Amino acid sequence: MTLPAEAKNAHQIAGIFAGETTTDILAKVLEGEPKWDALPTGTPSSIRILLEAALNKDTKRRLQHIGDTRIFLNRPSILDRSVPVVVGDRSARRGWFAAAVLLAAVVLLGLLYFRPKPLAPLESTRFEIAQPANAFYTDNFAISPDGRKLAFIAAAAGVSRLWVRSMDSVEPRPLSGT
């Protein structure tokens, strides 16, 4: 049998999670933070601290077992300490979220800045090699490492010689001593 005073107190405490039915109230418990200002003004601080500890959304800061409340209720001096109970410290979560967003932005900017730059299109050079007068080409030729000269072997009057043509000139010239 429930006493009228107990029913009134239970209704006032349930008011911190406003709802028409028990299901509505339980849904509010799971959804959000309690409306602590809905508690009656005469609610003892020890009961307020106990409720805040029991309904804390952070599992590390919440009472873990109903037996824990018995300890608090049997020894009210535990609840009368002036140590504040932190309820759902969202500023710490916001700080970590802001740090994660900042880190992601720095990584993204770093990737954009240090990404490989597109290579400049290679310059192609087309040319014809004029055959030296009275000489015949052989199959061998070579381009200098810097790409500025072409060397080839041509035979004239039965003698093979090494010829060099600079890419910026039209006529090849024979190398002496070859």
Cβ-contact 17, 35 below 8 angstroms: yes
pTM, two decimals, is: 0.33
Instruction: Say whether pLDDT at 81 is over 70.
Output: no
Summarize pLDDT for 43-72 with one digit per residue, the tens. Answer: 877 788 888 888 888 888 888 888 877 777
Mean pLDDT of 102-119: 89
Sorted by sequence, the CB contacts under 8 Å of residue 136 that are 6+ apart come out as 154, 155, 156
Confidence of residue 76 (pLDDT cuts 50, 70, 90): low
User: Are the C-beta atoms of 55 and 34 separated by less than 8 Å?
Assistant: yes
Mean pLDDT of the region 117-125: 78
Residues 126-137, mean pLDDT to the nearest whole number? 68
pLDDT at position 152 is: 85
The mean pLDDT value of the chain amounts to 76
Spatial distance between the Cα atoms of 125 and 159, rounded to a whole number of angstroms: 31
Predicted local confidence at residue 133, as pLDDT: 67
Q: What percent of the chain has pLDDT over 70?
A: 73
The reported pLDDT for the residue numbered 6 is 46
149-167 burial, b at 16+ Cβ within 10 Å, e below that, comes to bbbbbbeeeeeebebbbee
Helix axes 66-74, 45-54, angle to 10 degrees: 170
